[in-house]
């Protein structure tokens, strides 16, 4: 056992990060299985493989900081503190869900947790965070707002307009491009005309950086600097997180566009949780039994979440017209 902790987080904090990433992974792996059984309505887009991005960024956020997510939003929700049982029930379309079962996977929102919503409209989170960031700026509360998009949505006009607006108004906004290499089935190498997101940010007058999304500490360090800069009035920035997804674009995607053994290689060599836990175990800061205990706790939580979601009632027909419009 090493005598000192060489990481930028205490042992308790390191375990908390592990729990966040493990919760996302287990949640997604379980949704993958349950969806195949036919019990989940609608579409689901799974985040497994990209956990270091959500955990590394959200670690720096306060509960009142706002995020706007994507169609692939489960990981962002969990890392931001949305109730896991409520999320699972929402995905099942049950009345105990965080949106009373009327949103489903692509519309999970929890304003109390600062989660402005997953979003089925690609790129639509970017202008929303400009509003949230403007509010934080007016309130002078050092709040920040973070928009997540994928490499596909990064090309949407709303996204580009938001980059412009954020710079013009010097907003405490951070635009995270989770580049998992594919816009649905179209390679980013083909579909993103500006060859570098750093170049794109530079074109809008804001700093852009690119980080290794398979390394929690790389995301954590970079996000910490970007968020701290935004809180202190330094303005917006763009962060490309280079990552990879373990599942298809949506559940049921045959993934014929992916290379031979691509996913197997990702799981074997680029699993951000494996990389993270090995690093910490090797340094002697945490015992394997402590990770095992978290695994057991997370598994039990997800089991319970599925059980409760399955057992919960669907929204009553009388609720059809409620919650259509919401006052913030």
Residue (189 or 307) nearer to other proteins, CB: 189
At its nearest, how many Å lie between other proteins and the CB of residue 252? 29
Q: Is 14 in the site for other proteins (CB under 8 A)?
A: no
Residue (166 or 298) nearer to other proteins, CB: 166
Q: Is 233 in the site for other proteins (CB under 8 A)?
A: no
At its nearest, how many Å lie between other proteins and the CB of residue 230? 10
At its nearest, how many Å lie between other proteins and the CB of residue 122? 23
Using left for φ > 0, alpha for ψ between -120 and 50, and beta otherwise, residue 217 falls in alpha
Q: Is 209 in the site for other proteins (CB under 8 A)?
A: yes
Tell me the CA distances in angstroms from 303 to 25, 50, 85, 299, one per residue in order.
Answer: 13, 22, 10, 6
Buried b (16+ CB within 10 A) or exposed e, 231-267: beeebbbbbbbbbbbbbbbbbebeeeebeeeebeebe
CA 326 vs. chain centroid, Å, equals: 24
Contact with other proteins (CB under 8 A) among 170, 210, 255, 299: 210
**According to CB under 8 A, which residues from 276 to 295 bind other proteins?**
279, 282-283
Q: Is 202 in the site for other proteins (CB under 8 A)?
A: yes
Alpha-carbon gap, residue 107 to 96, rounded angstroms? 15
Residue (12 or 326) nearer to other proteins, CB: 12
Instruction: Give DSSP secondary structure letters for 161-202.
Output: HHHHHHHHTT-SEEEEEEE-SEETTEEHHHH-SSS-HHHHHH
Contact with other proteins (CB under 8 A) among 237, 241, 273, 277: 237
Alpha-carbon gap, residue 226 to 147, rounded angstroms? 13
Residue (252 or 284) nearer to other proteins, CB: 284
Residue (199 or 297) nearer to other proteins, CB: 199
């Amino acid at each position: 056992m090493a005598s000192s902790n060489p990481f930028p987080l205490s042992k308790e904090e390191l375990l908390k990060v592990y729990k966040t990433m493990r919760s996302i992974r287990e949640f997604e792996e379980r949704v993958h299985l349950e969806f195949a059984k036919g019990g989940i309505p609608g579409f689901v887009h799974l985040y497994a493989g990209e956990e270091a991005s959500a955990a590394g960024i959200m670690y720096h956020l306060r509960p009142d900081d706002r995020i706007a997510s994507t169609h692939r939003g489960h990981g962002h929700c969990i890392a931001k503190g949305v109730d896991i049982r409520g999320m699972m029930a929402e995905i099942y379309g049950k009345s105990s869900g965080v949106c009373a079962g009327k949103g489903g996977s692509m519309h999970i929102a929890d304003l109390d947790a600062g989660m402005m919503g997953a979003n089925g409209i690609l790129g639509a989170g970017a202008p929303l965070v400009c509003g949230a960031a403007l509010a934080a700026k007016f309130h002078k509360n050092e709040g920040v707002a973070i928009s997540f998009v994928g490499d596909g949505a990064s090309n949407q006009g709303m996204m580009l307009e938001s980059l412009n607006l954020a710079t013009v108004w010097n907003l405490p906004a951070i635009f995270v491009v989770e580049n998992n290499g594919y816009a649905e089935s179209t390679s980013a190498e083909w579909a993103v005309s500006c060859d570098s997101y750093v170049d794109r940010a530079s074109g809008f007058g804001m700093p852009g950086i690119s980080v290794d999304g398979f390394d929690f500490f790389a995301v954590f360090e970079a996000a910490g600097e970007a968020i701290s800069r935004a809180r202190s009035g330094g303005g917006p920035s763009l962060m490309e997180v280079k990552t990879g997804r373990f599942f298809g674009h949506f559940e049921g995607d045959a993934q014929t566009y992916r290379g031979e053994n691509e996913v197997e290689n990702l799981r074997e060599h680029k699993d951000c949780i494996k990389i993270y836990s090995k690093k910490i175990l090797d340094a002697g800061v945490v015992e394997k039994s402590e990770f095992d205990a978290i695994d057991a706790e997370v598994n039990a939580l997800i089991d319970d979440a599925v059980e409760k979601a399955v057992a919960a009632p669907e929204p009553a027909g009388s609720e059809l017209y409620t919650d259509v419009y919401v006052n913030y």
